[in-house]
Chains A and B, each alone.
Chain A
């Protein structure tokens, strides 16, 4: 656990008293679970506060916890190169079409990372108008990393079912 974990909680709690839902400590990593509405302000605060100077956004990870509620969560891994400390912000998201604010104005790389989240998990970010299909073809339906999206597994050919599958397989011709 890094020494700054307490500092993060104190500072954020002082500035935005009602924003923190929960503090999770697991395997030496601290997570601040924060309200969706406060996210952008907290990010701006983390970047500009002189004791924190979190100038580096490492990653944005979306998570789908299907049976649970709220279903989605977005993790922001934030790092400070001058101070060498890091924190994870976790934002629960109920409705993927009404996602959190984009933090692209705080760290420009966020536009790029949010695109991946939208493409694969389908969570929108308010203020990011660059969201588009990145990994998948333009006309793809659905968002594959969601738990209710099938893996798209195709049956494996063994000797006993070779002919049955082979008959259906679309072989290419010249």
Chain B
């Protein structure tokens, strides 16, 4: 057996000196080697097209992938454990840093789980603003996906265009939350504070210019013969396989399965919006690309409907045990001072019980399992992150293809390592 040495193999061993058995035990990562004739190659963790610190152990017959096993954990952050030592509000900031391409979607899932555990309903205005920002986040995430996955198949210029529009959305983030990426804007019981005056005109402007920008991206890729050759018929997964491997999001819908949490288990008033769920037919990289591009247009439609119905009113519920009192009350009311002090030192208490809240994040089904135990800290937080589960179907998609196709497939299932490793 030949062993292809790659940069950045963990440990510090000289890989050539180890026997095949030792190699398998140490670096095998569960790879079931088919034939001793084949070559074993470690791809990553430092590799430009694994979208982070993913390591893939490949068994290659020439240039063809015979088998592969993902090795993850190079970004394991201990977020679930760390959240158990923080109050519900403090733990919120950790959710941003899981899927850092779509921070507000993570906030959304976690906050809805906390609210479900507490049994509170937010105000209509907060609900609509959450939907607007949730859909903007979907576009934000898809823009990074489009730029980087186009880079992977050697289309360089798309990246520069995508990041130009991304800056506009990040400016909106900064406008509402004061931070470019890690907004932590959704809070238990509503939002951090109301959106500024400039928010609605800025979104209207975005709705005006963005459709033509999507046309620009499509002009670069959709009819591009090189792009077709790299993506059509590559990485095919059938609907049955996709369901049994737990694939979700646009990757699942690319195989023609009509399943979207926003339609099947609506949350935050999604049942009131009129939108379509784009479906693919082939289940290949190109279908997944088409699904995401159509999804961006649908998101624009949802944002438009939400803006038209944006009601006036408060953005936080009136429960002082959960939401801190406004600054103006602190000077007049002793009770407000007590509530403020209790909330920021101890936090609110959540009842005993466990909930599971699903949301549709840009990458698939994001779900939060939360167990409370009558204290102000969660007893157990677990995230079902779409990237982690979607990665399980990578071996099915990649078997029998070239290494260069593997790069296109990794781009098409849109993984984020922060979310995989947590």
Give the B-binding residues of A (Cβ under 8 A): 26-27, 29, 31, 55-59, 61, 63-65, 75, 77, 81, 84, 86, 88, 107-109, 112-113, 116, 120, 130, 132-138, 144-145, 149, 151-153
List A contacts of B422 (CB < 8 A). Answer: 135
B382 touches A56 (CB 8 A): no
For A77, the closest partner residue in chain B by CB is: B356
Known contacts being A55-B244, A135-B72, A136-B76, is A77 close to B85, with CB within 8 Å? no
Interface residues on B, range: 35 or more
List B contacts of A107 (CB < 8 A). Answer: 244, 246
List A contacts of B116 (CB < 8 A). Answer: 27
Choose the segment among B87-95, B184-192, B310-318, B364-372 that binds chain A (4+ C-beta atoms closer than 8 Å).
Answer: B364-372
B29 within 8 A of A: yes
B117 touches A81 (CB 8 A): no
B389 within 8 A of A: yes
Across the interface, B353 reaches (CB within 8 A) one of A27, A112, A113, A135, namely A27
B243 touches A56 (CB 8 A): yes
A-B residue pairs, 4 tightest by C-beta: A109-B246, A135-B73, A59-B384, A112-B392
Q: How far is the CB of A94 from chain B (nearest CB, A)?
A: 18
For A28, the closest partner residue in chain B by CB is: B116
Q: How far is the CB of A55 from chain B (nearest CB, A)?
A: 6
B30 touches A130 (CB 8 A): yes
For B385, the closest partner residue in chain A by CB is: A59
B82 within 8 A of A: yes
- A sample of 29 cross-chain residue pairs with beta-carbon separation below 8 angstroms, ordered by A number, consists of A27-B116, A27-B355, A55-B244, A57-B246, A59-B367, A59-B369, A59-B384, A65-B379, A77-B369, A84-B264, A84-B265, A107-B246, A108-B244, A109-B246, A109-B389, A112-B246, A112-B391, A113-B246, A116-B388, A134-B72, A135-B76, A135-B421, A136-B73, A137-B10, A137-B73, A138-B26, A145-B80, A149-B81, A151-B81
A56 to B401, CA, bound (A): 27
List A contacts of B10 (CB < 8 A). Answer: 137
Known contacts being A27-B353, A77-B356, A81-B259, is A151 close to B384, with CB within 8 Å? no
B384 touches A77 (CB 8 A): yes
List A contacts of B267 (CB < 8 A). Answer: none
A140 to B20, CA, bound (A): 23
List A contacts of B265 (CB < 8 A). Answer: 84, 86
Query: 1/0 per residue B232-252: CB within 8 Å of A?
Result: 000000000001111000000
List A contacts of B259 (CB < 8 A). Answer: 81
CB contact list, B152-200 vs A, under 8 A: none
A120 to B383, CA, bound (A): 13
Across the interface, B119 reaches (CB within 8 A) one of A27, A113, A130, A134, namely A27
B76 touches A63 (CB 8 A): no
Query: 1/0 per residue B328-370: CB within 8 Å of A?
Result: 0000000000000000000000000111101000000101010
B78 within 8 A of A: yes
Q: How far is the CB of B313 from chain A (nearest CB, A)?
A: 25
For B78, the closest partner residue in chain A by CB is: A144
A133 to B388, CA, bound (A): 15
Across the interface, B384 reaches (CB within 8 A) one of A58, A133, A149, namely A58
CB contact list, B264-321 vs A, under 8 A: 264-265
Q: How far is the CB of B12 from chain A (nearest CB, A)?
A: 13
Known contacts being A26-B355, A27-B116, A58-B365, is A151 close to B421, with CB within 8 Å? no
Q: How far is the CB of A4 from chain B (nearest CB, A)?
A: 13
Q: How far is the CB of A25 from chain B (nearest CB, A)?
A: 10
B257 within 8 A of A: yes
List A contacts of B382 (CB < 8 A). Answer: 59, 61
A5 to B30, CA, bound (A): 38
A89 to B187, CA, bound (A): 30
Known contacts being A29-B356, A135-B76, A136-B73, is A58 close to B29, with CB within 8 Å? no
A58 to B389, CA, bound (A): 9
A56 touches B246 (CB 8 A): yes
CB contact list, B384-422 vs A, under 8 A: 384, 388-389, 391-392, 421-422
